[in-house]
Structure 1
Amino acid sequence: MRSTYWKGVFLAWFVLALVTPCLGSSITFEATNLNDSGGADRWAYSYRVSGNFNMFSGFTVYFGVGDSANISASNPQDLGDWDVLTWEPDPGIPDDGAYDAMALVDNASLNSVFNVGFDWMGSSAPGSQYFEIYDENFQILESGYTTLALSAPIATPEPGTFLLVGFGGVALLIFKFRKSNTEA
């Protein structure tokens, strides 16, 4: 019976480890189809970023070569804690274009929205993009894909909430196994 008890405890902690986010940074976007001009399909993305950024750390969102052109930061003057840079995709290399924002201070503010405009050359509407989050030594800490922001924000529990729920689950398992051992 004791091995069943420890298997239950191990299983509870394993499940908790799977659902608890490790680093917790994310980039969401809202897409706006702008008035097209000169035959270009013009779009604007507004990024919201979560995480903790210290001086010279930052993030890069990539625009695929052959999919995008004329990438421009729309509000760099509004981002006092950030240095924003864009570059074009280069089909000759080939290399993706990007929107990059580097923090100029520790704990850079994430209250602002990071805006970028671009011409879309893909066959359907643009969607999620690959991103990387880097530290002050330009080492990649995280990578993933941007996610479409929902119109109504969803509350995301803090990691401490997951731990509290996990401890409660473990306590219930211990109580269940102790009760079944005393009845046997």
Structure 2
Amino acid sequence: MFNLRSITRAALMAASLCASGLATAAPVVYHSLTDEADVVPGSDTWRYDLRIEGSASAFESVSLLFTPSRFADLVSSGGGADLSLLDVQPDTGLPVDGMVTATLLADLTAPLTFSVVFSWLGQGAPGALPYEYLDANFSQVATGNTRVAGGTTVPEPSMLATLLLMAGAAMHWRRRAAGHA
């Protein structure tokens, strides 16, 4: 019924489809943090240096979210000619998250970097930021959290589960084919 050759061929085709899905995944945002000199007494000024990597088309965007109870006074800068930055301040009265939206003005072919300086209202040091990835029609395509720059990349659990499932199916078919031979 099934031979090892057809099972191997099917597994390779499935792996190539999964790999092509990885190439079109949403971009990833990396961050590093710097505790800046506090110019205003009583404020705690920090800077996120952010880098967007991956595959994305012009007019797609990444919106970084800043909780109003922890962040204030957002000011973004950098990005160059291929990136448009828009700052929306957190509002504790509503409450509404602050947002820095980085919109690509050209296809993402190389990593893009920019910075966000802010007043930290929380305790300790800030950490990863949640973000939303929007397509050119402003539809949310993916969500995530920034990753520490220079950190190691771990495969997404769903991809790992898919690969393990494929390996298990291949072993099952091989045993079944050996039993019928």
Please give the TM-score of this superposition, normalised by the length of structure 2. 0.71
Distance 1:173 1:149, change over 3 A: farther
* 1:100 CA drift (Å): 0.8
- Equivalence for 1:116: 116
Partner amino acid, structure 1, of 2:30: T
| C-alpha separation in 2, matches of 1:155 and 1:142 | 18
| C-alpha separation in 2, matches of 1:94 and 1:168 | 46
Distance 1:81 1:42, change over 3 A: same
Please give the TM-score of this superposition, normalised by the length of structure 1. 0.70
Q: Is the 8 A contact 1:24 1:50 kept in 2?
A: no
- Equivalence for 1:138: 138
- Equivalence for 1:33: 35
| CA-to-aligned-CA distance 1:152-182 (integer Å, 9 cap, x gap) | x54677xxx98xx779835554334323444
Partner amino acid, structure 2, of 1:147: R
Structure 2 residue 59 is the aligned partner of structure 1 residue 60: no
| C-alpha separation in 1, matches of 2:26 and 2:137 | 20
SS of the aligned residue for 1:115 comes to: strand
- Equivalence for 1:86: 87
- Equivalence for 1:5: none
Structure 2 residue 69 is the aligned partner of structure 1 residue 70: no
Which 5+ residue runs of structure 2 have no aligned equivalent?
3-9
Identity of aligned residues (%): 25
Q: Is the 8 A contact 1:48 1:110 kept in 2?
A: no
SS of the aligned residue for 2:112 comes to: coil
* 1:23 CA drift (Å): 2.6
* 1:89 CA drift (Å): 0.8
Partner amino acid, structure 1, of 2:98: G
SS of the aligned residue for 1:138 comes to: coil
| CA RMSD after TM alignment | 3.3
- Equivalence for 1:95: 96
- Equivalence for 1:175: 174
SS of the aligned residue for 1:80 comes to: helix
Which 5+ residue runs of structure 1 have no aligned equivalent?
3-8
SS of the aligned residue for 2:177 comes to: helix
Distance 1:73 1:110, change over 3 A: farther
| C-alpha separation in 1, matches of 2:58 and 2:26 | 19
2:25 to 20, 23, 26: 23
Aligned length: 158
Any runs of at least 4 consecutive aligned residues in structure 1 with deviations exceeding 6 A, and if so which? 165-168
| C-alpha separation in 2, matches of 1:97 and 1:141 | 20
| CA-to-aligned-CA distance 1:60-115 (integer Å, 9 cap, x gap) | 00111121112111324xx211111112111222211111111112x134423221
